[in-house]
């Protein structure tokens, strides 16, 4: 297209008037050529992207299977001081609310239960012996709060008072003549009451970390000590097996067969990555730069660990709670496993 045609085309485009056939054909050819050139340029650019440089040697990580074997809590957790105080407050509030009711609301008149109530209330001077005496009538009726450090707020003191109340009949402080005229001697004898087991066991008192009868309100985890003196969860190199199959094998090889266990789920609950200071050649000829251990969650239902015939050359074992584990394992190990463990 010459300069004259180009000028004519621009003027026609501005004016909105039709242009000649020659200018229109030339304009169409120019647009088609420009589009083809753009496509070719993009294709060529895509073809000339330099390939990503590949390393001369391939690296890999070794894969381990680990076992987080735990014993769940056996009893309820210890009460927070605020919870204990609130429980005592509710008990005293309940007693204060019950005082306006006549005792016949609870006991039928002239029944054995009514007579026992009269004797006990005369002896202990309060309806609820476990929370201390409360004077519901008089100038001091408002003073029903327990002072900080008072014996009434201690859980063990409350339990002992309840047991004492269950073992008494209300006749202990009365003269012998009154007792003999009221009931027969057999009924005066203390009735045996089954006492609850203590929350603190003998293993707690001795701090026996190998016992499962310790820290009953906490979750305990099995830790083993390897030949290098490091504390960790039982683990071994993953072979031609699944993680669940490896878990059963590691438990048997590490802690013996005298445990009834249950593998919780088919997927790991976490992993630990350890990098070597220097890469090692593995059996496949690759540079192994570290280990990745994938942990499976397991519960112990019965039995005990026994390292006598373990095949991993383990030296010792402990059953520890989460905060106790932190003091035994290495810092990097703890940082990567702590979120797998239960606080209680």
The string of pLDDT tens digits covering residues 286-300 is 888 899 999 999 999
Encoded tokens for 72: 């769940």
Calpha distance 99→136 (Å, rounded): 7
- Give the helix, strand, coil percentages of the chain, each rounded to 5: 40, 20, 40
231 strand-pairing partners: 225
Structure-model confidence comparison of residues 39 and 301, the more confident one: 301
260 strand-pairing partners: 302
User: Contact, 127 vs 95, CB < 8 A?
Assistant: yes
How many angstroms separate the Cα of 155 from the Cα of each of 138, 240, 331? 29, 55, 38
Pairing mode, if any, of strands 287-303 and 259-263? antiparallel
Encoded tokens for 230: 């490091």
**pTM here?**
0.69
271 strand-pairing partners: 294
Pairing mode, if any, of strands 287-303 and 59-71? parallel
Helix, strand or coil, per DSSP, at residue 244: helix
- Residue 65 backbone zone (phi > 0: left; psi -120 to 50: alpha; other: beta): beta
User: Contact, 66 vs 247, CB < 8 A?
Assistant: no
pLDDT confidence of 69, banded at 50, 70, 90?
very high
pLDDT for position 103: 66
Helix, strand or coil, per DSSP, at residue 104: helix
Nearest Cα neighbor of 216 from 202, 231, 199, 229 is: 199
Calpha distance 235→243 (Å, rounded): 11
- In the block, which residue shows the tokens 């609870």? 106
Does 83 have pLDDT greater than 90?
no
Rg (CA), the chain: 41
Share of the chain above pLDDT 90, in %: 40
pLDDT for position 172: 63
Architecture of domain 59-75+204-340: Alpha-Beta Complex (3.90)
pLDDT for position 57: 57
pLDDT confidence of 42, banded at 50, 70, 90?
very low
Where do the domains of the chain lie? 3-47, 59-75+204-340, 81-188
Does 11 have pLDDT greater than 70?
no
User: 82 phi and psi, to 5 degrees?
Assistant: -65, -40
Structure-model confidence comparison of residues 85 and 11, the more confident one: 85
User: Contact, 279 vs 288, CB < 8 A?
Assistant: yes
Angle (CA) 208-342-304 rounded to 5° is 40
User: 291 phi and psi, to 5 degrees?
Assistant: -125, 140
Calpha distance 68→139 (Å, rounded): 62
């Amino acid at each position: 297209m010459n300069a004259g045609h180009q000028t004519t085309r621009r003027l026609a485009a501005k004016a909105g008037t039709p242009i000649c056939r020659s200018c229109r054909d030339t304009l169409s050819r120019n647009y088609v050529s420009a589009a083809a050139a753009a496509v070719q340029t993009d294709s060529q650019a895509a073809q000339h992207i330099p390939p990503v440089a590949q390393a001369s040697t391939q690296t890999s990580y070794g894969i381990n299977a680990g076992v987080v074997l735990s014993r769940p809590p056996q009893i309820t957790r210890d009460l927070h001081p605020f919870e204990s105080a609130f429980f005592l407050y509710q008990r005293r509030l309940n007693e204060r609310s019950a005082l306006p009711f006549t005792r016949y609301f609870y006991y039928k008149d002239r029944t054995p239960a009514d007579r026992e109530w009269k004797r006990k209330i005369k002896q202990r001077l309060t309806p609820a012996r476990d929370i201390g005496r409360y004077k519901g009538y008089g100038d001091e009726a408002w003073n029903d709060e327990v002072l900080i450090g008072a014996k009434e707020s201690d859980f063990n003191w409350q339990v002992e008072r309840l047991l004492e109340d269950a073992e008494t009949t209300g006749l202990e402080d009365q003269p012998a003549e009154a007792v003999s005229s009221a009931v027969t001697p057999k009924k005066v004898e203390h009735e045996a009451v089954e006492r609850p087991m203590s929350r603190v066991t003998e293993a707690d008192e001795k701090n026996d970390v190998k016992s499962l009868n310790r820290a009953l309100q906490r979750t305990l985890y099995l830790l083993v000590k390897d030949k290098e003196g490091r504390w960790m969860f039982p683990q071994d190199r993953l072979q031609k097996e699944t993680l669940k199959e490896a878990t059963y094998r590691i438990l048997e090889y590490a802690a013996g067969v005298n445990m009834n266990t249950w593998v919780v789920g088919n997927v790991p609950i976490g992993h630990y990555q350890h990098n070597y200071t220097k890469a090692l050649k593995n059996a496949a000829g690759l540079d192994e730069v570290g280990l990745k251990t994938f942990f499976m969650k397991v519960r112990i239902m019965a039995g005990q660990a026994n390292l006598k015939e373990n095949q991993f050359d383990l030296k010792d074992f402990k059953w520890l709670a989460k905060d106790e584990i932190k003091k035994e394992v290495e810092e990097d190990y703890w940082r990567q496993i702590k979120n797998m463990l239960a606080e209680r």
